[in-house]
Structure 1
Amino acid sequence: MGEAEHAQRVGEEIGLAIDHAACDPAAWDTVMAEIGRLLPGVWPVLQVVDAAAGTGLPLVYWGWDPAAVAAYEAHYGAVNPWISVILSTPTMVSMHSEERMPASSLRHTEFYADWLSRLGGMTASSGVKLIDADGRLAVLNLQHDLARASRAHGRLAAVMERIGPRMRRAIETNRACFPAGAAFAAGETLLERVADPAFVVTRDLRLVEASRTGHVLLAEGDVLRVGALDRIQARDPRLAGAMAREAALACGGPPMGGGMPGPVRIGAETWQVTAIGLRQDLRGVVGMARLLAPDQLALVVLRRAAAESGGQDRLARFGLSPAEVRLALLMDGSRSLVQAAESLGIRHETARSQLRQVFAKLGVSRQSELAVFILRLKDRA
């Protein structure tokens, strides 16, 4: 079987699990298990950092020793030399460790000596950055042995290209529908969970059902309206193009080039569009209308994007005090908390207390999450 055929078959099987996880965040464990089953010799791990929304998620993985994951979350993720490579790589572009930062170049680092070298030979990886925007980062990593790095390079890249856009859309739906990670209440539908304007549509944007805020946006008519044949029409051509592209991709369009469309500024507001495909068996998504709807449906969500500001100002907007801002900006993975305390001229106990406040206010729970957030702030400063 050729690489393209293999990627299509594997991608579709994994994609079914991804679609389920879009409407049930607890199902990401099943997605990782499917990747491990269909790609033997690979340990998948998904990391999502969403400090801007205060909903940082734990690592989701398969095949890993939980002790190794716990050590990564507690310390080694914050000193991972690969963070800089991940942040500088565009979304939806496959990364391979032996091409970008081979294991042999890391032997002198604490990360390699005390963590990577103890993974039983699994010292190479392939990965793809799914999301990198507004203080949020999502990365899929496929850990494997060194021999596989050259042998399966093309195959892993092809699979990631197939499933990457689908995973990104599922993560965006999790964020829109499950901001606190809560499960569905009895009788609750997916649309009822979405605070942002959301619409169940066909591939050509015919409206099937809308969320409460979606109905409000349509009624106002300034951004969207319902036109002929019940199709949703955006008054701004850029927003119209983003919605059409996302709906088509979510309904089974070509997987290539599936990065998120950029924000669309309309007057004083900036909108971000995302969409996922919906199966007909999803519980109560479109009520009785699903009996008459076509097989291919998409959930299109419009979010008002947050405006960017400087790193210090942005941290202050999260409620950090000036002292907490100074400490947070030092915690970019380049130094330990002890070293940061020394640099600021404060006691280690004081730094620990401030760091706990930083974690609470930013909605993160690990130094690795904080390091990614701070590096991204500095990168955009």
Structure 2
Amino acid sequence: MINYGSQDRLLTAVDAIYEAATDPSKWPAALGAIADCFGDVGAVLVWRRDDGSFGTIVSDTLIDAQRDYEESGWANRDIRATRATERGYFFNGVPITDRHLCSPDEIRNDPCYTQFLAKQGLGWVAGIAVSPEPHVGVLVSVQRDSSRKSEFSDDELGLLVIIGRHIEKSLRLSIRLLDAELTRLGLGEALARIGIGVFSLDSLGRVVFSNPAGRRLIGDELHLVQDRLRIGSGSTREAIDEAITHTLRGYRHDLVAEPKPLLVHSLNSNRRLVIYLLPIGTRTSLAEEFLTNTRAIVLVIEQKLDEPPDPTLVRDVLGLTLGEARIAALVGSGLPPREAAERLGIAEDTARNLLKRVFSKVGVSRQSELVGLLAKLVLR
């Protein structure tokens, strides 16, 4: 249960998370706001790409600790990071804390705990995978002061799940802007080059900016009428219009609730549109002039009907974890488990174990049944 004080901190964190969507330099501040939700020292965002590259963003309170971590070689001796990688936690979207990674004896005696963490005044950690992209794994972790003797509770891990959903949605834009080819560009030029549709809306719902990818998607189930987006038809349009209105007004309940994507099926072409709404708070101060009046950003991602569905849609529709949904999306589109594992960069045994859990949760026993279920609930 979230009390009013913690709800205020959560709303502050959500605002900061969406500010970072269009300005990745704001992620340290967002991570600090996330740590404040728990009353903890700081937070860390770690990503690992499928080409082996990786990077870290930390809240300002952890800059010195992170520098020591890298310069003293703890990056190669961190038992928690090693276990998280080995056990697929960068992938599966399940919240974790120390008890999921290390034994009590390891927590008492491993050098990572007794030397590095003790030196930095740190103790417990809580983390969750938040990447919406198949080619990059992202884990956000909250670092707890060692003077707080209790590790993270299940309720706190539940709060991290809510925060993780907002980070995941923000990263759909932010990951692309963090791409090495775009970091040297201004925001406007970077948005012009990314391959997803971006529409910024003012407080009245009028489109004040759209990038080339977004303008190419106009037509069929996406229209611009008197400077306003019209997405879908019938009850789908009504639901999306209502969601946009709520996002623009910034209702507290809607900001705290777990965000979910919206799906639009095309009537006349072989595609579907996945819609994400990012609220931009009135306190936002963005560097680029064209975003100064923005109160919401609409992300529109086109997916062909012969391509695997967005894993977050599969997760939300079928009640899976993100890792299970990634496997279900690929295998449910006809890909053999071995090829699905290769595409996701995980072991085939891991993929098959995830698939078994998917079958158990959704009540099917073979791949053909999963294909039929996805076709009924997600693809058509």
Q: Do both proteins adopt the same fold according to a TM-score greater than 0.5, normalized to the shorter chain?
A: yes
Flag the structure with more relative contact order, 1 or 2, with Cα contacts below 8 A and sequence separation at least 6.
Answer: 1
User: Offset at 1:246?
Assistant: 6.9
Q: Where in structure 2 are the equivalents of 1:6-45 lying within 5 Å?
A: 6-35=5-34, 41-45=40-44
Is the Cα contact below 8 Å between 2:84 and 2:90 reproduced in 1? Answer: no
Distance of 2:245 and 2:75 partners within structure 1:
36
1:115 aligns with 2:112: yes
* Letter in structure 1 aligned against 2:10: G
1:139 aligns with 2:136: no
Is the Cα contact below 8 Å between 1:197 and 1:213 reproduced in 2? Answer: yes
Can you list the C-alpha shifts for 1:113-137, whole angstroms capped at 9, x where unaligned?
A: 2434432174422234434563543
Distance of 1:125 and 1:104 partners within structure 2:
14
| Alpha-carbon spacing, 1:378–1:238, altered in 2? closer, same or farther (3 Å) | farther
Can you list the C-alpha shifts for 1:296-337, whole angstroms capped at 9, x where unaligned?
A: 62111112356334465468779xxxxxxxxx766x9xxxxx
Q: Aligned pairs, how many?
A: 313
* Letter in structure 1 aligned against 2:286: L
User: Offset at 1:45?
Assistant: 1.3
- SS of residue paired to 1:255: helix
Q: Where in structure 2 are the equivalents of 1:67-216 lying within 5 Å?
A: 67-68=68-69, 71=73, 73-74=75-76, 76=78, 79-80=82-83, 84=87, 86=89, 95-98=96-99, 103-104=103-104, 106=106, 113-118=110-115, 119-120=117-118, 122-131=122-131, 134-145=134-145, 148=148, 150=150, 153=153, 156=156, 160=160, 163-180=163-180, 182-183=182-183, 185=185, 188=188, 191-201=191-201, 206-216=206-216
1:58 aligns with 2:55: yes
Distance of 1:10 and 1:178 partners within structure 2:
26
Q: Where in structure 2 are the equivalents of 1:170-319 lying within 5 Å?
A: 170-180=170-180, 182-183=182-183, 185=185, 188=188, 191-201=191-201, 206-218=206-218, 221-227=219-225, 230-235=228-233, 241=239, 245=243, 248-249=246-247, 252-253=250-251, 254-261=254-261, 266=266, 268-278=270-280, 281-284=285-288, 286=290, 297-305=295-303, 307=308, 308=330, 309-310=335-336, 312-313=338-339
Cα RMSD between the aligned structures? 4.7
Give the TM-score taking structure 1 as reference length: 0.61
| Alpha-carbon spacing, 1:13–1:249, altered in 2? closer, same or farther (3 Å) | same
Is the Cα contact below 8 Å between 2:195 and 2:213 reproduced in 1? Answer: yes
* Letter in structure 2 aligned against 1:68: Y
Structure 1 consecutive aligned stretches of length 4 or more whose deviation exceeds 6 Å: 315-318
Distance of 1:179 and 1:55 partners within structure 2:
14
| Alpha-carbon spacing, 1:134–1:89, altered in 2? closer, same or farther (3 Å) | closer
User: Offset at 1:224?
Assistant: 0.9
- SS of residue paired to 2:220: coil
* Letter in structure 1 aligned against 2:167: M
- SS of residue paired to 1:9: helix
Unaligned runs of 5+ in 2: 309-329, 357-380
- SS of residue paired to 1:171: helix
